[in-house]
Structure 1
Amino acid sequence: MKTLPDNPNLDHLRQQAKDLLAGLRDADPTATLTQAQAALAAQYGFRAWTDLKTEVDRLRGQADTADPALARAIADRYGLGEVVGEMRSVARPDDTGRRWSLPTDQGRWAVRTMDTWWPIVDAETDVALQQAAAAAGVLLPAPVRSRAGNIVESIDGHSWRTYEWLHSGPPLSAPASSSVTREVGRILATIHGLALPVDRISPWHRSRLSAVGWPELAATATAARASWAAALREAVPTLTDLDAVAPDGPAPEPVLTHNVLGPASTRLAPDGRLVVVGWEHAGGQPPSWELGNALLDWTVNPGGGVNTAGARALVDGHRAKAGALPPLDLGMFRGAVHSLANYVFGQVQTALDTHETEDRRYADRSVRHLLSNLPTRAVLEQLLAVATSAHRRPPSPSSLGHPTVH
């Protein structure tokens, strides 16, 4: 489920809806902005656009403000200049920590806590990947080292990282337009082409991290009288069938890669280029697995349909940059299926363990949204068929250049 920022902006949501409309019109040229707004509201876990607007009104102006002494300490430790405004939270905490915006006389900086960071590779390794990707033409906020040369610093009892603030629009949404997905494919191929070594596949993608079965988890939710327990029981056959797509066993060789390059990790810069964020989850993954994950994240319509034009464009963009595609078979979705299973289990467990009113409200809405939007084996098979057909035809002329995304 998409997460609203701490100080949401209705204009940003309108822009997200317009971006989403471009993707919907790839499949249905008659799609309207009203339909796009309704689809976007659903992605945020709301029944209608008016409900989403009401939530924006409720949250506006509720960003947290950091202690000025903490802001000065971070600015001093990282050599960011003199603080000239309040350090404000950007969004609610995620699985890594919390993002903040810090203005100084040298500009604006993106700082974030790393207290709940579960690193797949160490910070120096993910920074090396970012630097190599940037040198190869991927647009991203540059990581900032402290005065002591460190990426992560402990300040006021928290671990921190800092990035340059790169002005961009709101996160993108799926299904994205074919112009966006083509560029996503190109970026993935660029990162894969770096061929940076890594010693293992990300555990998140390699296998299920919990031995608890789906029926047992559903029984636990039912016993806890969770509001979404029935939805979880109904989802058990789908989740079980997806598990069968991703059996344990030998896997292709991984490369060091972004690992979570979905719409939430991508923005549009003012010049129309894609900005890639979220490199803290970098790790090892076979290129074919990450390509499968991208197809699932970027080209599935609300209700489970596939944006065929977007999927073909993503494959075209990857092939045009790489010169060839990794193996295309159902096994390419193995990492996506494992990561989805781990995410579902984590979200369900969080909702069961959360008791504070606001956090529980958010967690329950997130789980209901997640369970109502699970992909199926049929969707994966359709994505594979589209990718295979795209592989057999010559790349489109538009995939051979470096177009600006609109």
Structure 2
Amino acid sequence: MIRVHGGFANRMYRLDTDQGSFAVKELNLGDRRWTYHVEDVFRLERAAFVAGVPMPEPISAGPNMLVHRWVEGEKVPEAPVSAAYAFEIGEILARIHALDVEWTDVSIEDPPPRDWPELAERAAATGQPWAEELAAHVETFLAIAHFVDTCERPGPVVLTHKDIQPWNLLARDGRPVVLDWELSGMLDLSGELGSTALSLAKGPGFDDIEPAIFRSVLDGYVAGGGMLPPSGPSWFVYLIGGWLGHTRWNILRCLAGVEATTGPERTLSHESARNGIRGLPDLFRRLPELETLLL
């Protein structure tokens, strides 16, 4: 197997055989942020694949290893996609949400982390390169945690992918291929739509958001038979909460001071921690501006 670098949570390998090429994913079980519901996710993947959702064929799933057929395609850069690509993503979401798949997991979402003062102290004591920035934003991170904890989700709750972002997509002949379904589960519809539409409508920061691309995702969702939920901050709370948890997870990996044997390399954890420490306060500050995308 040949290592394919760049994963934010797990480790990926390519395996070429006389029966074709396969993507073999080694799941990070050492410090995983959530329980991976193997049977539920594999059932959803099989149903989505049979329904024609453009994705790698799921081959097998075990407690620490996933196998899919390898799919060739171009990586999707962190930049606004084309209107046609965004529209098709909306249609794909509507198709996924319409699937009739049994989901046995009834886990309750953990409250957002509030130990930011302690993390800032540990970062300063261990000389982390982003320690000063974290200390300067502690109050903002506490405010973000409060927002995530108290923001009302209007529903409905749908069974969905939960992580359709540029790094989980390919472009094949200019059309989407959806990768990495491990995070799949139940989610408030507004959070799924807002996270997906925003990620496809912007670049690395929040200065070049293209409202037309954001709307194209929603137009595609409606064209695919979906109904849009009410407007409001709930459209962005899942994105903010997920990024908050991901940032904290990477901070803890950096504070450990050793190279982990599973999951992302330490250098990538440092990059992810720094990006979250800088990007989350900016995203939170822009919430009123983002809500205008829904008008």
Whether TM exceeds 0.5 here: the answer is: yes
Alignment check: 8 A CA contact 1:245 1:331 kept: no
Please list every run of 5 or more consecutive structure 1 residues that lacks an aligned counterpart in the other structure. Answer: 1-86, 146-150, 154-158, 390-406
Partner of 2:97: 192
Question: 1:175 aligned to 2:118?
Answer: no
Q: CA deviation at 1:340?
A: 1.6
Picking from 28, 46, 49, the partner of 1:134 is: 49
Deviates more, 1:316-325 or 1:353-362: 353-362
Q: Which has the higher strand share?
A: 2
Partner of 2:271: 365
The change in CA–CA distance for 1:98 and 1:169 in structure 2 (over 3 A counts) is same
Work out which structure has the larger RCO, using CA pairs closer than 8 Å and 6 or more positions apart in sequence. Answer: 2
Partner of 1:90: 4
Partner of 1:377: 284
Partner of 1:143: 58
Q: CA deviation at 1:102?
A: 0.9
Question: 1:152 aligned to 2:58?
Answer: no
Q: Which has the higher helix share?
A: 1
Percent of aligned pairs with the same residue?
29
Alignment check: 8 A CA contact 1:202 1:285 kept: no
Deviates more, 1:336-345 or 1:349-358: 349-358
Please list every run of 5 or more consecutive structure 2 residues that lacks an aligned counterpart in the other structure. Answer: none
Partner amino acid, structure 2, of 1:101:
R
Partner amino acid, structure 2, of 1:178:
A
| In structure 2, C-alpha distance between the alignment counterparts of 1:272 and 1:359, rounded to whole Å | 31
Q: CA deviation at 1:294?
A: 1.4
Partner of 1:260: 163
Alignment check: 8 A CA contact 2:151 2:234 kept: no
Find the residue that maps to 1:304 and give its secondary structure. Answer: coil
Alignment check: 8 A CA contact 2:43 2:101 kept: no
Partner amino acid, structure 1, of 2:272:
S
Partner of 2:247: 344
Question: 1:123 aligned to 2:28?
Answer: no
Question: 1:353 aligned to 2:256?
Answer: yes
Corresponding residue pairs, total: 287
| In structure 2, C-alpha distance between the alignment counterparts of 1:331 and 1:249, rounded to whole Å | 6
Q: CA deviation at 1:240?
A: 3.2
| In structure 2, C-alpha distance between the alignment counterparts of 1:190 and 1:228, rounded to whole Å | 42
Summarize deviations over 1:341-389 as a string: whole Å, max 9, x none. 11111111111113349944443333223322224334333232212x2
Greater CA radius of gyration, 1 or 2? Answer: 1
Alignment check: 8 A CA contact 2:112 2:149 kept: no
Listed as ranges, the matches of 1:13-28 within 5 Å are none
Question: 1:112 aligned to 2:25?
Answer: yes
Q: TM-score, normalised by structure 1?
A: 0.63
Q: CA deviation at 1:241?
A: 3.4
Alignment check: 8 A CA contact 1:196 1:255 kept: no
Summarize deviations over 1:262-286 as a string: whole Å, max 9, x none. 11110011x2221111012211112
Listed as ranges, the matches of 1:325-336 within 5 Å are 325-336=228-239
Find the residue that maps to 1:280 and give its secondary structure. Answer: coil
The change in CA–CA distance for 1:379 and 1:138 in structure 2 (over 3 A counts) is farther
| In structure 2, C-alpha distance between the alignment counterparts of 1:380 and 1:186, rounded to whole Å | 26
Alignment check: 8 A CA contact 2:152 2:234 kept: no
Q: CA deviation at 1:239?
A: 2.5
